[in-house]
Structure 1
């Protein structure tokens, strides 16, 4: 985040947190519960409604990749 000359933030951040409880019926020792967090920054001069679809698509892809990696990494 950067501060503009008027002492206001030049960027705003959209953050998504998802809690996942993973259960492996074949190997219960691999069960876990974890929070996944991802964010995207955008120009503070823009309205969230103008950028939210694009930002959420990127955030959800990031979180999905992290969940996928954590759940299939041991296979």
Structure 2
């Protein structure tokens, strides 16, 4: 098969990436609006870090251009839960492990195809030893792992349709 034929197959019906995204040819831009942090336990800067993680993932997995307004695709929402809870107990009835759970409600608008709009919640967790404090590198690792999973789930639901 010639190079011309291969390139025609991948561009003839819009943009297809090897990440699973199927983006119509008329969609060129996306924007991520500010996420409000409405969790009962507010972690300072969490909404900014989540917004940046979502922007980075979309930029890394698509050819879409990030814009601050009038995007073809718009992401917005809020952080609805930031919770630390014990998950397992020791024989002395103390926590052996804690779990950080973060939940995000996302509203996605496709201005080129309104049937693709989405209003859905996503959540993920990170387990850590009960004798560890959720500070420093433990907190950074927890946030990164949770954001990686939630942003990938959002990407799959909005652009890959998984």
Q: 1:17 aligns with which of 103, 122, 126?
A: 103
- 1:60 maps to 2:143: no
What displacement does 1:9 show? 1.8
- The question of 1:29 aligning with 2:98 is answered no
Return the alpha-carbon distance in structure 1 between the equivalents of residues 99 and 88 of structure 2: 11
Partner SS for 1:22: strand
Higher strand share: 2
Structure 1: segments with no counterpart, 5+ residues: none
TM-score (norm 2): 0.44
Residue 23 of structure 1 aligns to a residue whose secondary structure is: strand
Aligned match of 1:49 in 135, 140, 146?
135
Q: What is the number of residues matched between the two proteins?
A: 74
Aligned partner (choices 89, 110, 135) of residue 3 of structure 1: 89
Using the TM superposition, give the Cα deviation of residue 2 of structure 1 relative to its aligned residue in structure 2, in angstroms: 2.1
Give the number of the structure whose residues are more often helix, by fraction: 1
Unaligned runs of 5+ in 2: 1-86
Give the TM-score normalised by the residue count of structure 1. 0.90
Distance 1:64 1:32 in 2: 14
Q: Please tell me whether Structure 1 or Structure 2 has the larger radius of gyration of its CA atoms.
A: 2
4+ residue runs of structure 1 moved beyond 6 angstroms?
Answer: none
Could you say which structure has the greater relative contact order, defined with CA pairs below 8 angstroms and 6 or more residues apart? 1
